[in-house]
Amino acid sequence: MNTYAGLVTVLNSLNQRAHTAFDTLRQGPDWQVRSDVTIPALRHAALLMLVKDEADCLGLNLRHHYRLGFRRFFILDNNSTDGTDQVIAHFRKDAPQADIFYAQDYQKAYYQAAKMQALHQFAETYLRHDANPPDWIFFVDADEFITCCHRGQNAAEDFTRMVTDPEARLLMFHWAQAALVTSTPPYQLTSFGASLAETECVVWPAMQEEVTKVAFRTGFGLTTGQGNHFVEQLALVEGHTRLMMDVGFCMLHFPYRSMPQIERKLLNGMDALRASHLPPEMGQHWRVQYEQYQQGGQEALRRILAQHLALCLTTGQEQAPESR
């Protein structure tokens, strides 16, 4: 990764701006999680996903992004066994205008960056001779939702202005951690509704850390690294990056949803790491949480879930939510 001081300063400035914008919006009267915003300018963008046993949220994710305006979906399924294929088949049936490429990734090993780069290159090559080749490449995980989080009437126009800006090469989104739990005592876990707007959940009251996910314009040779958090060619996007928090869009992130889901996530993550030849410092969060699980079993899972719920609940709410 390029670490020139000037570029690092630019990134830090963007992160700080996003942090301030999120906290101001979240704590003000205009905060609202919305599912009614559609951006027609996304019609020719490609949305890329690598999924593994997340059928509990994948269907909503696909419908959410279809409603947002995406019509091209490239999905790489890493050996899911939870009915993921049926979720995608139902989406294909319910959204006939969606163009869906779905492939089974037989390689268990944890090589996310390489796989997503391959999927990106495939998507561009696959659509090269289409009447409208892809203009933007977006990346989301099954538990991440590009979401308008403000009540303003010009949300679609503001987003459109970003993607149609001829000088824009990179769109930077920031995570907003979210949890499926009631917002008032007695705290109880909830589940996804028909849309995010109809889902009872909480979003952290202030940004605790700045974690980015990006989309990039095709034609500039850009590629993402591990996690799709930024591009590897920083010099090419300096002065050409657009901060999506400026127009009230963030990436709602639901990483921990229930104890069975967390257990499945840890087991899958460690299986993938063991099958790879990555250095031990890679996937450190998986390794630490898996060790906690090995030592503490269900109590460790309960603690991971409770910590996430506490992160997302309003500051000062001390009563632990009921976990299951």
CA 74 to chain centre: 15
pLDDT of residue 56: 96
SS3 17: helix
Read off the amino acid at residue 107.
Q
Cα(first)–Cα(last) distance of the chain, in Å? Answer: 41
Show Cβ contacts of residue 123 under 8 Å, excluding neighbours closer than 6 positions.
Answer: 46, 48, 72, 74, 101, 134, 137
- CA-nearest of 210, 196, 181 to 319 is 181
Read off the amino acid at residue 192.
F
* The pLDDT of residue 324 is above 50: no
Length of the chain: 324
Read off the amino acid at residue 277.
H
pLDDT of residue 8: 77
**7 — pLDDT class (breaks 50, 70, 90):** low
pLDDT digits (tens, 9 = 90+) for 20-66: 999 999 999 999 999 999 999 999 999 999 999 999 999 999 999 99
pLDDT digits (tens, 9 = 90+) for 161-217: 999 999 999 999 999 999 999 999 999 999 999 999 999 999 999 999 999 999 999
Contact between 180 and 33 under an 8 Å Cβ cutoff? The reply is no
Written as six digits, the tokens of 202 are 């909480």
pLDDT digits (tens, 9 = 90+) for 239-293: 999 999 999 999 999 999 999 999 999 999 999 888 888 787 778 888 899 999 9
- Compute the distance between CA of residue 304 and CA of residue 156 in angstroms, rounded to an integer: 36
Paired residues of 74 in beta bridges: 48, 101
pLDDT digits (tens, 9 = 90+) for 140-165: 999 999 999 999 999 999 999 999 99
- Compute the distance between CA of residue 27 and CA of residue 202 in angstroms, rounded to an integer: 13
Show Cβ contacts of residue 262 under 8 Å, excluding neighbours closer than 6 positions.
Answer: 256, 301, 304, 305
Q: Biggest alpha carbon distance in the chain? A: 57
Written as six digits, the tokens of 192 are 């996804």
Read off the amino acid at residue 30.
D
pLDDT of residue 225: 85
pLDDT digits (tens, 9 = 90+) for 83-111: 999 999 999 999 999 999 999 999 888 78
- Compute the distance between CA of residue 171 and CA of residue 215 in angstroms, rounded to an integer: 5
* The pLDDT of residue 129 is above 90: yes
pLDDT of residue 319: 46
CA 84 to chain centre: 18
Average pLDDT over residues 310-318: 70
Paired residues of 179 in beta bridges: 202
**315 — pLDDT class (breaks 50, 70, 90):** low
pLDDT of residue 112: 84
The CB density around residue 226, as the number of other CB atoms within 10 Å, is 15
- Compute the distance between CA of residue 252 and CA of residue 283 in angstroms, rounded to an integer: 22
Written as six digits, the tokens of 216 are 């990039």
SS3 41: helix
Written as six digits, the tokens of 313 are 């609940």
- Compute the distance between CA of residue 100 and CA of residue 91 in angstroms, rounded to an integer: 9
pLDDT of residue 202: 97
pLDDT digits (tens, 9 = 90+) for 288-307: 999 999 999 999 999 999 99
Name the percent of the chain lying above pLDDT 90: 81
- CA-nearest of 185, 107, 176 to 148 is 176
